[in-house]
Amino acid sequence: MIKLIPAADHHHAKIGDWLESYYLFSFADYYDPANVQFGPLRVFNHDRITGQNGFPLHPHAEMEVVTVVLDGELTHKDSLSNDVTLKAGDVQRMTTGTGFSHSESNNSDKNTELLQLWFLPNKKGLAPAYEHMSLDFLDAKNKLVPLVTGQKVLENVVYLNSNSTVYYGHVGRGENIDFKTFKIRKALVYVLTGGMLVNNVEAETGDQVRLESQDIISLHGSAEATFILVDVPAAEVNY
């Protein structure tokens, strides 16, 4: 199965003049019973936060929350006493487990662009935890860069309590990348910029392609493109 979801079909949310978001799955005031999750991937939001604004302290539980900063900066504070400022190219993971509170704010004068993905964990009742790394993935050329994973075959990436992996990718015009997978897994490709063919399905900026029962995901640059690829199990046995 290969399903293209155009950018125009994503839910567009705007809160005041400080937050603009695109929801790839049901979230907040948007609910579609046919679009709740994809394997353990429960939330995928593309956010833009204006300067001197952000999310106040709020709680979560039983979720793996991944934040990928694409542009600008983001200051994170939490109930574990972490106080860090993330820059473009940084990735963080929050294990909210039995209970975790955090705030995320843009304390600069320019806009911040980020992705936030939530995964149902592969084990309930985990102790709250936090990790972030500077991965400098934005300079990648014609390759996939793993950002966060629970698959032990990958190193030097942020850890995730899910048998899933999030990649940032770049493919040049006319170039190809083949991602080997298994028919028991699923993948979601979200185009950040440009245009590309995903197993011969044309996708442009803001489009997503969901794939199931594939052995290989072929990524071809119809134009220079950047994208996110999320590789997930069809079912996470412990959630």
What value, to the nearest 5°, has the Cα angle with vertex 117 and ends 150 and 175? 80
The annotation status of 104 as a binding-site residue, yes or no, is: yes
Return the residue matching tokens 């063919």.
Answer: 197
The annotation status of 12 as a binding-site residue, yes or no, is: no
Q: Phi and psi for 137 in degrees, rounded to 5?
A: -80, -15
Closest CA to 219 of 168, 182, 153: 168
Residue 107 CB contacts under 8 Å (≥ 6 apart), including other chains:
52, 54, 73, 75, 85
Integer CA distances (angstroms), 12 to 28, 41, 206, in order:
12, 19, 12
The annotation status of 10 as a binding-site residue, yes or no, is: no
CB atoms within 10 A of CB 213: 13
Annotated binding-site members for Fe cation: 58, 60, 102, 104
Binding residues: 58, 60, 102, 104
